[in-house]
Amino acid sequence: MRKKLAAGNWKMNGTSAALEELSALAALHPAPGVEVLICPPATLLSRAADCRGPIAIGAQECHPENSGAHTGDLSAAMLADAGASHVIVGHSERRTDHGETDALIQAKASAATASGLIAVICIGETLAERESGATNTVLATQLLGSVPDDATPTTTVIAYEPVWAIGTGVTPTLDQITETHGFIRATLASRFGTEAAEGFRLLYGGSVKPGNATDIFALPNVDGALVGGASLKAQDFSAIITALEAAT
Ligand code: PGA
């Protein structure tokens, strides 16, 4: 049985005042029936860990090495030391803004696991790729290249985030999400075996809001969501958590 996960990615948003939203969320869900994760900017990690209540705290990115001459970067060990239990790797904004490759993302995911963090590995096609019929090829390549060979359902969560749905208010149709998550599950099965593949949690991400969460969470192979904009306000994210709880 896969435990559902509601993950919020604050991206480059939030200073100290934002911690009030985290405290409010913790108060709204004192014992959530699903796992809840908030990934604030790294500057807030340790303070978020202090006021998180039952909510897990994650980072948005890590360096593949443990330490060394990498000005401005943070290692997985440092993030764990600051109170993170998860880290997002391979978000499309990092793939685009920082030119991150599948091989680099795989190395980051391995570093995360080595430091005891759960890696939330993001994959997703652009609009041009979907329109040209290349979605499955792109996703299979990203899955093969970004997910470490020794990944397990305990160490790794997969987030499917169509690039064209992130921050746009546009989402794929429910049929498209169903088809794509089914494809991802099947691709994991061909690499890791059916039993392991059944254990991996597959999150959908891209313009998840209180208004569409219930429909998305009712779909097969959708084990939760990775939420950007709607995770910034406790009320909005709470409504998404409630929808996920209702779907379990
Ligand atoms: P969005 O972002 O919910 O604001 O579309 C999703 C994400 O980038 O994880």
Query: Tens digit of pLDDT for each residue in 152-184?
Result: 999 999 999 999 999 999 999 999 999 999 999
Residue 59: helix, strand or coil by DSSP? strand
pLDDT value of residue 1: 84
Establish whether residue 8 lines the binding site of ligand 1, counting it when its CB lies within 6 angstroms of any ligand atom: no
Q: What's the gap in Å between 210 CA and the centre of ligand 1?
A: 13
What pLDDT, in 10s, does the model give residues 130-146?
999 999 999 999 999 99
What is the rounded average pLDDT of the residues 74-96?
98
Rg (CA), the chain: 17
Residue with the smallest CA separation from ligand 1 atom 6 is 228
Q: What is the average per-residue pLDDT within 120-139?
A: 98
- What is the Å distance from ligand 1's center to 83 Cα? 23
Instruction: Report the chain's mean pLDDT, rounded to a whole number.
Output: 97
Separation between Cα atoms, residue 9 and residue 213, nearest integer Å: 16
pLDDT digit string, tens, across residues 205-216: 999 999 999 999
Q: What spacing in Å lies between the alpha carbon of 146 and ligand 1's midpoint?
A: 20
CA 69 to chain centre: 28
Is any atom of ligand 1 closer than 6 Å to the C-beta of 113?
Answer: no
What pLDDT, on a 0 to 100 scale, did the predictor assign at position 212? 98
Which residue numbers are catalytic?
A: 91, 161
pLDDT in tens, 222-247: 999 999 999 999 999 999 999 999 99
Residue of 92, 208, 231, 240 with the most ligand 1 atoms within 8 Å of its CB, for mutation: 208
Please tell me the residue having the least CA distance from ligand 1 atom 1.
228
Instruction: Return the closest-CA partner of residue 107 out of 56, 53, 155, 146.
Output: 146
Instruction: Give the pLDDT of residue 103.
Output: 98
pLDDT band for position 248 (50/70/90)? Answer: confident
What is the 80 CA–ligand 1 centroid distance (Å)?
24
129 pLDDT exceeds 90? yes
Q: Is the pLDDT of residue 8 over 90?
A: yes
